[in-house]
A and B are shown apart, each in its own frame.
Chain A
Amino acid sequence: MLKVKNVTKNYADVQALRGLSLSVAKGSVFGLLGVNGAGKTTLLSILNGLTKIDEGSIEVFGLDIQKDAKEINAISSIIPQHLAFYENLTVVENINFFAKIQKATKESITNAIEINSLQNLLKQKASTLSGGQKRRLNIAIGLLNNPKIIYFDEPTVGVDPKSRNEILDSIASYKKLGITVVYTSHYMNEIERICDEVAIIDKGALVKQERLENLLSNRVSDKVLVETFYTHKLSSLGLTLLDTTTVESSQQELPELLKVLEKNEIFIKQIRYGSSNLEKYFLEVTP
């Protein structure tokens, strides 16, 4: 549903995109990976009509980005990395403003509020919200136009683990609604957790695009990844953590690890055997 073909974009002396091509399937959660300066932000700016391409073509749900920019804007939405709403307005005033300029329906306003659990915060001034609540408001605004495709630009930067968990769960729920998600993040475990397919770009060009399970299953190792439900206790046990919820272990050490988790009443979400993690792969392909 999103087709990027041989796209080139230059800024003065810098070549931000060099013939980038990738495609995103309808209803999928697509991870876009790349180091800083790889071209992710430029691609997102182009996809949102903020920047024009120099060469190549982009189709979004059959619409041409150069000819049908308005139509594409109407069915897509960006959740910017930086909070983009009015701090001096209340939550409901922010939502009403962005809803009105996009002619949002009552149903989509209600959905945006409920999905992001903002019902009890509506009258609160945005500046007084916590970091996680602000992130949720930022996301809610992006859902108001009932988009077919949403671009998330590192939406969990600076967010506490609990709020991050809630945000990732809500993004996973968009898949059930048939919304296509393009997700950029520096947190590989987030990509592993929610994405169906990933593309790694480096220096403005595609390095690899693959379904996540294929990418990881091709790289067998003796490592075991144990993903747990979040609890602050995990970090105090002296284990090898990949992130706040995932423990890395060898197959031989797994029984001992399970005992420790049980003793500390830490519940297991899933165990992945014999697979490598995305971070290691990413570091290998982006020198």
Chain B
Amino acid sequence: MLWAMIEKEFLLVSRDRHALIALFVMPAVFILVMSVALKEQFNQEAILFHIAVQDSDKSKESAKFIKKLHKSSSFSFDKNADILISIPKEYYNLKHKNQKLDILVKGSIKSDLLEVFKAKLLKEVMDFKLKQMSKEIKKTNFQAAKAMKKMSLEYDKLYKISYEKQKLIPSSTQQSVPSWIVFGMFFVIIPMSTIFINERKQNTLSRVTTMNVSLFKLTLAKIVPYLVINHIQVWIMLGVGVFVVPFFDTPALEITGSFMAIELLSFTLSLSAIGLSVLIAVSATSAEQATTIGGISNILLGAIGGVMVPKFIMPESMQNLANISPMSWGLDGFLDIFMKSGDVSMVAYNSLLLALFGLTALALAMLILKLRINRGL
């Protein structure tokens, strides 16, 4: 009986083109547009320096170094470069100790950007020099060379950075993907309310209740399909962040946290979205009313919860207000997973809040539905 009701719900949703667009196309488009549009604002990594290189050394090593700069995502070789790097003669000859790279910078380059450039260039130079030294030492001391080879200048292997909670600043992709996942999940209100109110108006709901279908099964048959739909949404949107966003010259989403944490957070977030949707659907008297109330509440929860405007740029009072929105609980959970390698324990509190919100809304919805059935719907 329950499976038949779930199957029916899937069939009805699959034939609702508008709902499918709201659930899958809208968040995917938002992820792409917002990730690309905001990448300069969010990503220091994305800063691109337009450079030109003059190679007076003309050695094998200098050629290799230039090749390395070409490969780096931080530098772009450009005729109208802002920065000219000159490699002097004998620069890579270890006997000439005092040789320096000459760097000519346009006056319009800001000092903070220049610092970033110097850091990036230093990394490339040091990395290269280290490898070169390792080769030289290898000729005389094999053990020392082996030890040097193990040395690394990769940032995350050199130091660990811990962020204060409110200071966490995501990349545009890290911000956009969870934001629009959360927002998209709450849009189950559209198909759910349309189907539910049509069932009420077309008397199918009262007909079904004359067929010994309990209130619990009625509600469960509404929950299960949308849990599955929300789950599919999450993984499709993550896929967009990981695989599609990079095609638009924007950093891909890196999922460093636990997959179990994603599952737990998605499940409880879905429960909360479904709870609110069922509550609105049973309370509204028409599909138009339900979609209007649902749409407005989604936008409000999204605006307050940091979906539309990232929380880290909100004033403190607004950041505190954001904590009342279930969308904010979900968004913070996803940011913890993506940015702090979050595991289940890290998202447990937010998941608990989401589950409690969802279950309370569902309990309230069942109560209203029971009253409606007793009054003949």
A residues sitting closer than 8 Å to B (CB atoms) are 45, 48-52, 70, 73-74, 77-78, 80, 82-89, 93, 96-98, 100-103, 141, 145
Contacts and interface: CB of A to CB of B under 8 A. Distances in A.
Contacts of A50: 206, 209-210, 373, 376
Nearest to A79: B207
B324 interface: no
Interface of B: 1, 3-5, 7-8, 11-12, 15-16, 198-199, 202-204, 206-213, 373-374, 376
A83 B213 contact: no
A275 B154 CA distance: 105
Contacts of A93: 8, 11
A97 B7 contact: yes
Contacts of A103: 1
B12 A89 contact: yes
A84 B11 contact: no
Contacts of B206: 50, 80, 84
Contact of A73 (B12, B202, B203, B212): B212
Given A82-B203, A84-B204, A101 B213 contact: yes
A264 B198 CA distance: 47
Given A48-B210, A73-B210, A101-B1, A89 B203 contact: no
B4 to A, nearest CB: 3
22 contacts: A49-B209, A50-B206, A50-B376, A51-B374, A70-B212, A74-B212, A80-B207, A82-B202, A83-B202, A84-B202, A84-B204, A85-B202, A86-B8, A88-B11, A88-B15, A93-B8, A93-B11, A96-B4, A97-B7, A100-B3, A101-B1, A141-B207
Contacts of B199: 86
Given A51-B376, A100-B4, A102-B211, A89 B202 contact: no
Contacts of B7: 97
Contacts of A141: 207
A87 B202 contact: yes
Given A86-B204, A101-B5, 10 more contacts: A50-B206, A84-B202, A84-B207, A85-B204, A86-B8, A86-B202, A89-B8, A89-B12, A98-B211, A145-B211
Given A73-B212, A89-B8, A100 B204 contact: no
Contacts of A97: 4-5, 7-8
Contact residues of B: prevailing secondary structure: helix
Nearest to A70: B212
Contacts, number: 72
A160 B339 CA distance: 67
Nearest to A48: B210
B208 A101 contact: yes
A211 B212 CA distance: 34
A220 B206 CA distance: 44
**Centre residue among B8, B11, B15, B211 by max chain A CB count within 10 A:** B211
A215 to B, nearest CB: 31
A129 B16 CA distance: 19
**Centre residue among A49, A82, A86, A145 by max chain B CB count within 10 A:** A86
B72 to A, nearest CB: 55
B199 to A, nearest CB: 8
Contacts of B202: 82-87
A127 to B, nearest CB: 10
A82 B4 CA distance: 23
A93 B373 CA distance: 25
Contacts of B207: 78, 80, 84-85, 98, 141
**Centre residue among A49, A52, A84, A103 by max chain B CB count within 10 A:** A84
A83 B202 CA distance: 6
Nearest to B14: A88
B309 to A, nearest CB: 38
Contacts of A102: 211-212
A101 B209 contact: no
Contacts of B8: 86, 89, 93, 97
A46 B328 CA distance: 47
A136 B349 CA distance: 54
**Centre residue among B7, B202, B204 by max chain A CB count within 10 A:** B204
Given A82-B203, A83-B202, A84-B203, A89 B210 contact: no
A100 B211 contact: no
Nearest to B217: A101
A101 B203 contact: no
A78 B4 contact: no
For the complex of A and B, the 9 pairs showing the least CB-CB separation, nearest first, are A100-B4, A84-B203, A84-B207, A48-B210, A97-B8, A101-B1, A82-B203, A88-B15, A73-B212
A98 B210 CA distance: 11
A39 to B, nearest CB: 14
Contacts of A87: 198, 202
A145 B209 CA distance: 14
**Centre residue among A51, A101, A102, A141 by max chain B CB count within 10 A:** A101
A69 to B, nearest CB: 9
A77 B208 CA distance: 11
A45 B1 CA distance: 23
B259 to A, nearest CB: 35
A10 to B, nearest CB: 13
Contacts of A96: 4
A33 B213 CA distance: 30
A87 B209 CA distance: 19
